Structures are given as structure tokens and as C-alpha cells.
Structure 1
Amino acid sequence: MPWLYLTLAGCLEIVWASFMKKSAGFTLLLPSIITLVTMIASFSLLALAMRSLPLGTAYTVWTGIGAVGAFAVGVLWMGEAVTPLRLLAALLILSGIVLMKLSGGEQ
């Protein structure tokens, strides 16, 4: 169950980061509200996951999901550039997430 919480927390991190961009510095009400609500939900799920998972594993996976997901959202829906180095960086982050999961981080 902690890995499910952590995965959902990471997905919500993608949502809040994307809507933070859309909020134009918290000047637009609806994107700002979505940012804050999903941020609280993401942190709450991360906290639940950390009851069973080590800090380093949980935090690394959470930020990694958010980073790779935000990169994908930026490229697919916000018109951000795709370059070989950016793709390599995202692949390396994804590799780190997989290695953390395979490292057997449960206590």
C-alpha cells in the first residue's frame, strides 16, 4: 500500500506543478486553488507512504515522478522543447526511480 500512496502522491505532484504554472504566479483563482488542493493531497499521501518506506527512497521516488511527469506535461501540452539532452536527463531520473524501487526500500 505505501507504494500505491507514493505513486499517487507523485502523480498529484505533476498536477500541482502543472497548475502552478497555469496560475500565473497565483494570480488566477481556479488554477491556484487546484494547485493548493493537489499539493496538500500529494504531501498527505507522501506522509502516509513514509510510515513504511525510508525517507530517502520515498522522497527520491516522489520527486522523480514529479520531475519526469512535469517534463512530459511541459513537452506534450505546454509546447516546451524536446532535445536529446533533456530526454536523456528524464531517462536518467526514471532509471533512478526504478533502481530505488528495486533496492527493496521497505522496512
Structure 2
Amino acid sequence: PYLRPDGKTQVTIEYDGDKAVRLDTVVVSSQHASDIDLDSLLAPDIREFVVEPELKALLEDGIKLETEGYRLLVNPTGRFEIGGPMGDAGLTGR
């Protein structure tokens, strides 16, 4: 109930040749309600309801990734309360 529609993700996986072997970093930037705490609510929810289920699904598909020490970065640039065109023009400069 506290998430809003704007967001983006990036997942970094370490490979050995063509085989995925280790989860390195998960970055989630998610627009959210103004009254939530990123560290006590959003980050644990992302870990429990997004990262862990996806790792389980990969394991069920025969893909076991080393996860020791992976980094979960949730809104690493700070609070993300204003989204869409009002918060970001969408230009990358590329």
C-alpha cells in the first residue's frame, strides 16, 4: 500500500564463462509514500518479497547463485516520493 507506480531495478550477476555463479548487487529504486522508513520497511520488504522469491525460483530452475555478501541497495540516492514526469524527465544524456 505504500509503493507508488514509478521505479527501476538493476541486478548485477557474476559469471564464470557463460554460467551465472554469484549475485553481486540488487539495486531497487521505488517511488513510495512519504510516511515510510526506507531502512525499517522498504528494504526488508524488497528482500523478503522480491529478492528471496526470485532466488528460490532460480533454484527451482536449477540455477544456484552464491549470495553471501550480496548488496541490496534500496533507493540509494535517497527518498523517492515524487515520480513520473514531475520527478524525472527520463533523459539519460546518451
Q: TM-score, normalised by structure 1?
A: 0.34
Task: Look at both structures and tell me which one has the larger radius of gyration over its CA atoms.
Answer: 2
**Richer in helix (by share):** 1
TM-score by length of 2: 0.37
- The structure whose residues are more often strand, as a share, is 2
